[in-house]
Structure 1
C-alpha cells in the first residue's frame, strides 16, 4: 500500500511546447492528518462522509477558548447615564428648594403686614413687587360683566370662581376681583340674588401677579361666556378693565362658609400663601434613584461571565 501511494505521487504528464517539455503532476494528494501518510482524494462515487476512512466529525473537535471577558453594548452607556442625570436633577432641586423657601418667606412677610389702600392708578409692571400684598379698595361691582371660571372643585363639589369688575370711586381704575367660589347649581345670577351686592362696597384681598397658562388648559371663549383659566390680560380687555387682579379674602370659618354657600355668596380664600413646596421630596427621590442605578451599574460590571458565555465550540472544518 505504501509503495502504491509513492508511485501515484510520482505519476506525471509530459507535455511538449515550443520551450521544451513541462512536467506537471497529474494528481495532487493530501496527507493524512493523523499518520502523515499520503492518501488519495475522495472518489466522486462516495455517497456519505463515512466512506472516507479519515473523516473526522466537527463534534469530535476539541473546544477552543475564544472569549474570556464579558463585553457590554450600548445598554451599559445608558445605565451609567441614569445615575449621573438623576444626581444632577437632585442637586438642581436643592437650588430650587432654596429659591422656593426664600420666596415663601417673602410672601409670608407681606401677608402679615396691614392692608394698603389701592392707588387710583396702578402700573401693571410693578405688581410683581407687591405680589401677595394685602390691599383694600372701594367701588361698585359690575355684575353685568360677571365672568365664571370653571369648573373648579371646592370640598369635593363642582363649581365656579366668580370674577367681577370693580368700578372704583373718584374716577379710579376698574379692576378685576376674584370674589370666590360658588356651587355649580347656583351658576345663574337669578338663583343667588343675595350674592349680588348693589351700591358701593369695600373689598379686601390679595394683590396677585397674573398666572401662566399651561399647555393642558383649553383656551377661553369670552364671546360664549366660557372661561377655563384666569387670563388677566384677556379678561381685562374683554370687560374694559385694567389688568389688575385682586383675590377677595375672608376668615377661614366653616360655619360661615356653609352660610355663604347656601345664600349664593362667593366663598373667598383665606389670607395665606398656598404655594406648594415639594422640592424636599424631589431631592430624596432623585438621589435615591441615582444611588439605586449606581448599584445596578456596579453589579452589571462586576458580575462574572457564565461558563456558557465564556466557551464557544469552534471547528477548523466548519
Structure 2
C-alpha cells in the first residue's frame, strides 16, 4: 500500500492527500534530465484544512443546542396551559358539590348504584338510634365555617380536638339499619355517659348527606377495630362490627341537640392549588424564554 502523507505543489499552493495506488491522473515532476515525467503509484486530491471541519462540526452542535433548549420554554408553557384547564375543571366540580349540598333532601334509597350517584346529596330518614354500638372517628376538629372564615388570615389557629360519633340508626320506613355520623364531640365528651342528655331514644327524623367509603391516605393509621378507634371511613368494616348496612350519612347541623354531638360535619375539601402551579409554570416559561432570546438571538453571553 501507498504511504499516507501530505504533499504540496510549489506553484499552485494546493494541499493534496494521498488516496492510494489506483490513480486517475499522475502529477508531473521534473527529472534530472530536465524532462517532465509522471509519478506513478500515488493519486492526489485537494482536501479541506482541519480548521474548517472543526468549525462546521461546532456550527452543527450550536444549532442542535439552540433548538433543543427551546423545548424548555415550550414545555413549561404547555404545562401552564394544562393547569389552567385543570383549575377550570376543579372550580366547576366545587360548584357542583356546593349545589348538591344546598339541594332539597330526598328519601334515602337502598340501591347501591343509585347511592353512588347520591354522594353529597341530602337525604332524609326516620327511625331511632342504637347508642350501644357507637363508633368513633378520630382525631377530628370541629367543622365551623364561621370560625374558619374568621381565622382564614391567621398564621395559627387552635381548633378543639375531638371525634365524630358514628351511631347505627334503624330506619323504620326502610326496615334496615344504616350508619349516621351524628357529629363532633370534644375529647372530654367522648364517652357516652358524659353526654347522656344528648342520647336520644325517641323516633326522630334525620336529614344528612350521603357519604361513600374512603381509602386510607398516606400517613393515616390503620383503623383499630378492637379499641373502637377509627381513622377513616371503612363502610364494610363498620357495617360488619355494628350489624348495619354499608350506608353512611352525615347528619346536618339541624340534627344537633343540647348535650349531644354537633352535626353538620361534612367537609367538602377539594385541593385547589392549580393557581400556584399556573404561576410557577408560566414564570419558568417567561424566564427561560428570555434567557434563550438573549443567548441565541441577541448573542449576549449568559
TM-score (norm 1): 0.60
The partner residue of 1:291 within 286, 291, 294 is 286
Matches within 5 A, 1:152-301: 152-154=140-142, 156-170=159-173, 172-250=175-253, 260=258, 263=259, 265-269=260-264, 274-298=269-293
Contact 1:111 1:272 (C-alpha < 8 Å) held by counterparts: no
**1:106 counterpart residue number:** 96
Superposed, 1:37-186 pairs within 5 Å as 83-119=73-109, 122-154=110-142, 156-170=159-173, 172-186=175-189
Higher relative contact order (CA 8 A, sep 6+): 1
* Inter-CA distance 297–114: structure 2 relative to 1 (3 Å threshold): same
Shift of 1:293: 3.7
Compared with structure 1, are the counterparts of its residues 170 and 109 closer, same or farther at alpha carbon in structure 2 (3 Å cutoff)?
A: closer
TM-score normalised to the size of structure 2? 0.63
Mark the structure with the bigger radius of gyration.
1
Unaligned 5+ runs, structure 1 = 1-65, 307-318
Runs (5+) with no aligned partner, structure 2: 1-53, 143-157
Deviations 1:139-182 (A, max 9, x none): 12121211111111236111111111111114522111111111
- Distance in 1, matches of 2:68 and 2:202, equals 67
Report the secondary structure of 1:295's partner residue. helix
Residues 1:232 and 1:80: Cα distance change in structure 2 (over 3 Å): farther
8 Å CA contact 1:124–1:243 kept in 2: the answer is: no
What is the distance in 2 between the residues matched to 1:103 and 1:305?
Answer: 48
CA contact (8 A) 2:166 2:181 kept: yes
The answer for the alignment partner of 1:314 in structure 2 is none
What is the RMSD of the two structures over their aligned residues, measured on CA atoms? Answer: 3.7
- Contact 1:148 / 1:161 at 8 angstroms: preserved in 2? yes
Give the match's secondary structure for 2:219: coil
Aligned pairs, number: 231
Contact persistence 2:294–2:301 (CA under 8 A): no
Displacement, 1:183? 0.7
Q: Is the 8 A contact 2:184 2:265 kept in 1?
A: no
Alignment partners' CA distance in 2, 1:238 and 1:85: 52
